[in-house]
Amino acid sequence: MCGIFSYFGPKTNIEELITGGLMNLEYRGYDSWGIAYKTAQGIEIEKEIGKISDRVLSNNSQDTGLETNIAIGHSRWATHGGVTQANAHPHFSADKNIVLVHNGIIENFFELKEELKKGGVEFVSETDTEVFAHLISLYLHEGFEEAVKKALAKVHGRFAIVVICKDENKLIAARVGSPLIVGIDKEQNEYFIASDIPAFLKHTKDVMYLDDGQMVTIDQNGAHFYDMESGKRIEKRIVTIDWDLESAEKGDFAHFMIKEITEQKNTLHRAINQDAGLILELAECIKNAYGTFLIGCGTAGKVCMVAEYLFAHVAKRHINVAFGSEFNHYKHFIKDKSLMIAVSQSGETADTLEAIEVAKGKGANIASILNVETSTMARISDFVLPVKAGPEKAVASTKVTTSQIAILTLLAYALADRLEEGEQLLIAAAGQINDMLNPRYERHIKALADKIYHSESMYIIGKDMNYPIALEAAIKLQEVSYIHAEGFAGGELKHGPIALISEGTPVIAIVANDEYKQEILSNAMEIKARGGYIIGVSPENSEIFDYWIKVPDAGNASPIVNIIPIQILAYYLSLLRENNPDMPRNLAKSVTVK
């Protein structure tokens, strides 16, 4: 949620630089944006409602005539206060000496706001962020850095801020909970501060990570990191990121979503090509744990549900599954020998991070399965299994989802001492997916989208490990098509949901070639008898199906192959309904606030 991109260095095309960086963060979700930069007259701010890409830069924006080449930018997703120009970031202090951008939520902002009002401060926005600017200004007589430290000490919550001062040639940034990364190009003596690496990937791959409870000051002498509470200096190493710029750009594809769906030909192979020693080591941790808990949010939560079935079938092992936002219910069962396995794309999901903090506080071991190996989640985990999918920029997760399921499948087989069998299963499935993802297959699914895109509601049924895939399919359809979609366990249909079926209602039946095949076909027949339009996702056709989407017969890898055609369907439905599949309304890629 929200995006921060800031710069310190010799470049003079500041407007182009900052807006370009913010455009690289558009996938995070936002409804307004703004930039602030220093000039000979002070600090200038530009703020707008809507998309950055809608803005056409003026011809003379190559050189803004800055006194110092310091600028901060922000893309905002509204939390406190509506979508207005006044509420967009950056925010000034009353005296215009301080301006800042902020991600996250200040939990005690109301109390602080009332206190500042009593002191005569007048607020011009409804945001919690403005409180931060006024607090820093209040202490500015003690020096810029000290003022930031004192303001930080007064606020509670999860946040990331970047601040500039009218009279100082430096940037100051700090974080608690929300991600913030420093990019560095030593040769050019330039620094970037951003919420995520793609913002500055075209400029540098060298980064230094700002951890929780830390702040950084950047000036002509470099970047200096400190502990926020003690003020003690912290030495940071430079890490070189192995992402390439091409993987973070659309290339010849119309949207990131279809590009990332197509990339599953390759990303599954990368997920399978894990260090076998890491898989076996984590499997051994599960064997020795006093209770293992799988947690994730949204799509990652559905991946965890798939894994619950896999561990039961393959390894005959019970695993506890919880959404990060609902983990509080399980905290009493965590012991010092428990194991928590967190599943995430970004590694910055607020609810999952809070669950990890609870588990760590009780002495549990933490393992993470995630795509961003240098994220907060990775750095606080005892054990990390990387997804290796590369940047995923569409809000609706596709390639990372299937890679996460693949890794958990390997883990289930390793737990049963059958890792090689699991590898062969997934290699075969990846080869079948490579054959499946072709233009003719896409056209077949688009033809289905043409038939059903006017539908008001859709339903998806599955059984066993494909029940969570039905739930995930509903999420995909909801996210990008905005069609009301729900997933059900096939056997639960007659316990209420079948009342929703009317003539022509599209229902996707996920039918794996397993012991439950006849049961789910029977459920589909019940729907058809009530007028439902049955879309079969199955290795074999059936007279029950009104439309058949063929998928490989992949055994225990069926959850992976079965979700892919529904990802494609969701994409084409979004286009037909004139939606942007990469940036669905009201959604963000990384949910970094609760």
Could you tell me the pLDDT band of residue 287, with boundaries at 50, 70 and 90? very high
What CA–CA distance (Å, rounded) separates 42 from 28?
A: 31
- For residues 2 and 30, the answer to whether their CB atoms sit within 8 Å is yes
- For residues 560 and 403, the answer to whether their CB atoms sit within 8 Å is no
In the numeric block, the tokens 């994220």 are attached to 375
Structure token digits, residue 485:
């979609």
Which has the minimum average pLDDT: 11-15, 172-176, 386-390, 399-403?
11-15
- For residues 437 and 265, the answer to whether their CB atoms sit within 8 Å is yes
Residue range 301-313, pLDDT digits in tens: 999 999 999 999 9
Which has the minimum average pLDDT: 130-144, 205-219, 322-336, 539-553?
322-336
CB-neighbour burial class of residue 36 (10 A; exposed 0-12, middle 13-18, buried 19+): buried
- pLDDT over 90, % of the chain: 62
Give the count of alpha carbons within 13 A of 321, CB side only: 20
Q: What are phi and psi of 209, to 5 degrees?
A: -95, 130
- For residues 394 and 27, the answer to whether their CB atoms sit within 8 Å is yes
212 or 520, greater pLDDT: 520
What CA–CA distance (Å, rounded) separates 446 from 442?
A: 6
Residue range 558-570, pLDDT digits in tens: 999 999 999 999 9
DSSP-based three-state secondary structure for 328: helix
433 pLDDT more than 50: yes
pTM of the entire predicted model: 0.77
- For residues 242 and 391, the answer to whether their CB atoms sit within 8 Å is no
DSSP-based three-state secondary structure for 577: coil
508 or 210, greater pLDDT: 508
What CA–CA distance (Å, rounded) separates 17 from 57?
A: 11
Q: What are phi and psi of 183, to 5 degrees?
A: -95, 145
What CA–CA distance (Å, rounded) separates 470 from 453?
A: 19
Mean pLDDT of the chain: 90
In the numeric block, the tokens 């207005």 are attached to 84
Q: Of 461, 462, 456, 464, give the one whose Cα is nearest residue 481.
A: 456
Tally the residues of the chain: 594
What CA–CA distance (Å, rounded) separates 384 from 366?
A: 9
Taken in order 471, 472, 474, 479, the sign of the CA dihedral is positive
What CA–CA distance (Å, rounded) separates 553 from 33?
A: 47
pLDDT reported for residue 61: 41
Which domains, and CATH codes, for the chain?
Answer: 3-241 (3.60.20.10), 251-436 (3.40.50.10490), 438-578 (3.40.50.10490)
Alpha-carbon distances of 158 from 235, 359, 491, 591, rounded to whole Å = 24, 18, 42, 12
DSSP-based three-state secondary structure for 175: strand
197 pLDDT more than 90: no
**Helices vs strands, H then E, count in the chain:** 16, 25
73 or 68, greater pLDDT: 73
Could you tell me the pLDDT band of residue 99, with boundaries at 50, 70 and 90? very high
- For residues 565 and 440, the answer to whether their CB atoms sit within 8 Å is no
Q: How many other CB atoms sit within 10 Å of the CB of residue 501?
A: 20
In terms of DSSP bridges, do strands 292-296 and 339-344 run parallel, antiparallel, or are they unpaired? parallel
Enumerate the active-site residues: 2, 589
pLDDT reported for residue 69: 82
pLDDT reported for residue 22: 87
Q: Give me Rg for the CA atoms of the chain.
A: 25
246 pLDDT more than 60: no
- For residues 198 and 24, the answer to whether their CB atoms sit within 8 Å is yes
Mean pLDDT of all residues in 95-118: 90
Structure token digits, residue 184:
């560095």
What CA–CA distance (Å, rounded) separates 91 from 500?
A: 48
